[in-house]
Structure 1
């Protein structure tokens, strides 16, 4: 019985996809695309191990979804593959791209049935259009559109990738290294997502869930007699600031936690540790902007936020509209979807004694609906 590891490449930046979202984070129901593809493959029972390559920024979030082996990708597809092969100890390895999302069990079975016949098994499609290369018409019968997944003898692929050349698929590397490959007829349904319009060619993908995802954030900061005060992204006229590692904007910190909670991405201390010197005195608006970009990459859309600021001092009534406008500009939503409320604690507790400020924030997210593009 042959042993096989599946490597799914998902470390790309989706630069050709023309949207803020990374295509590996498009949702199928409530699952990201990479998880949808991996789960379909896992259910076949053909694989002894599944490896997902990913950018470093994505790996920790991916771990919330599944227990696959996650490997940091490289700057190129080939480097990502080489990184993954360090974790492969099976006789054979099947390599595919997460963007080739509608691979079915029958196709996998067909590829695997050729195991042992060559160093690489390669699915391909015939060309039906006229092909012109360098202003000369060439015989289209001699041209093949190569697909993934490709099944390779692990030792042959590892040896081939020791070469300095860059290859766009596994079989080309193996052949250049003196190995053999076998071509088998592929499937049109195994189309790869490269551009937005490719989504319409994949019938196996269902629409994302329409669920609303809610999160709550809470933060407090004591006053400090040094520095300036920033609250809700706005400089407040005050003789004191907040005691904090960053600029101490307690409203934005609570909002960050609410957004992270809605997305299931942990908390502010995990994303922006207060023991990391690079966040010393950090502008909280920039931290919020970093998170908003990440949320978009991961396929989330911000619906609305609601922030309650509890303080005896300073009085913030005159600043609320400016806060709404500032926060809405960072979140990329209309100002009416950002609500700011102010209250006191009726002289009770540390807030009532005028020693600091507390903030509760709520945020709602939805999945990006790629079916409406």
Structure 2
């Protein structure tokens, strides 16, 4: 049985990446980057456990993709690593960053083959350019560009990180703590994705799938004599409001479900439970804004939406254009790609009896195509 655990760090917020998408959710075909990297490691070596460290909010969605062990990250890389090490029982641990996507099996085997030689095994690249530190030219033969993954003795790494001092990699912590380090040649193709332009330096990443992802949502709300009526993001002239935990905007609720359905992210009740006081009487536009942000973070772009409002009353014909304006602004798409339709049920059912409103929504998404970035 293998005595080596893999930890993949993917809890960053991608601030320096400069895009709405988190870089760990870039798609290679249909796979998000974190899964692509984890699967490649799994194929290259027999690990006893693979741990993916991510933000707490991302983990429920990640669990829809793969059955790896998921751990919530901390405020820093080092805190995230310490959280993951609590789940490690093997003698050795290999730590890498999801952003370093192109680790070849040859590079990995060079690292693993040296595990008995020191407390930590570190891949590096030599420097070919002249190196100046402050105002002095130094010997470039003594300079190494450090990469991941790094392989450590688990007990040594845990001990080295039991400090308030901050380290940028595992080997620095271990050497500072009196441990030993051995270097192996890395790979220039194992370039780390930090800025969006780094994507052009990553040879192993193919384009995201061009498939269209579709979802639908359906919601109903009964009328309530109390409160204002909000529908499609705007206030409607009506003697009724809606019975609901939030403001009751049944059109936006249906749209949220359609967006979440297309992204495979569950439903509105999972994301905004109706027993959570944070959402009591909340403006549904804020809920939609949150969903759009999360969808963009997770690598999706919105193509278009189509909403059918079934109501005997109120009549909404004069409100449709304003609804489209409000919704298109939140979704970040042209108004022409937001369609609003209105119908009645010919006085049949609860809608026909003017007891409430029902809405059916459809949404189409695609993956964010980073290959199109100049």
Bin the TM-score by the shorter chain: over 0.9
Q: CA deviation at 1:134?
A: 1.4
Matched, 1:220 2:213: no
CA distance in 1 between partners of 2:172 and 2:75 (Å)? 19
Q: What is the alpha-carbon distance in structure 2 between the residues aligned to residue 68 and residue 330 of structure 1?
A: 34
Q: Deviations over 1:95-135 (max 9, x none)?
A: 00000000011111111001111100001111111111112
Partner of 2:109: 109
Q: What residue in structure 2 maps to residue 140 of structure 1?
A: 140
SS at match of 2:15: coil
Aligned to 2:168: 168
In the alignment, the residues of structure 2 paired with residue 330 and residue 9 of structure 1 have an alpha-carbon distance, to the nearest angstrom, of 32
- 1:283 corresponds in structure 2 to 283
In 2, the alpha carbon distance for the partners of 1:262 and 1:170 equals 40
CA distance in 2, matches of 1:358, 1:279: 21
Q: What SS does the aligned partner of 1:173 have?
A: helix
Matches within 5 A, 1:355-366: 355-366=355-366
Give the Cα separation in 2 of the matches to 1:134 and 1:107: 33
- Distance in 2 between residues matched to 1:317 and 1:327, nearest whole Å: 16
Instruction: Find the counterpart in structure 2 of residue 266 from structure 1.
Output: 266
| 3-state SS, counterpart of residue 362 of structure 2 | strand
Shift in Å, 1:44: 2.1
Quote the residue 1:89 is aligned against.
Answer: 89
Count of matched residue positions in the alignment of Structure 1 and Structure 2: 373
Alignment of 1:290-329 (within 5 A): 290-329=290-329
Contact 1:27 1:33 in 2 (8 A): yes
- Superposed CA deviations along residues 225-272 of structure 1, whole A, max 9, x for unmatched, are 000000000100111100000000000000000000000000000001
What TM-score results when the alignment is normalised by the length of structure 1?
0.99
Deviation at 1:170, TM superposition (A): 0.2
1:251 aligns with 2:241: no
Report if the CA contact (8 A) 2:2-2:47 is conserved.
Answer: no
RMSD of the TM alignment (CA)? 0.7
- Alignment match, 2:30: 30
**Which consecutive unaligned segments of at least 5 residues does structure 2 have?**
none
Alignment gaps of 5+ in structure 1? none
Query: In the alignment, is residue 202 of structure 1 matched against residue 196 of structure 2?
Result: no
**3-state SS in 2 of match to 1:84:** helix
> Which position in structure 2 is the counterpart of 1:70?
70
1:16 matches 2:16 = yes
* Helix, strand or coil at the partner of 2:122: strand
Check the 8 A contact 1:2/1:91 in 2, yes or no: no
Q: Secondary structure at the match of 2:132?
A: strand
CA drift of 1:164 comes to 1.1
Post-superposition CA distance 1:24-83 (Å, at most 9, x none): 000000000000000001112321100000011111100000000000001100000000
| Structure 1 residue 2 displacement after superposition | 5.3
Mapped to 2, the partners of 1:201 and 1:82 lie a distance apart of 30
Work out whether residues 8 and 95 of structure 2, in 8 Å CA contact, stay in contact via their aligned partners in 1. Answer: yes
How far apart, in 2, do the equivalents of 1:24 and 1:280 lie?
A: 33
Structure 1 position 363, deviation (Å) = 0.1
In structure 2, what is the equivalent of residue 351 of structure 1?
Answer: 351
Distance 1:45 1:184, change over 3 A: closer
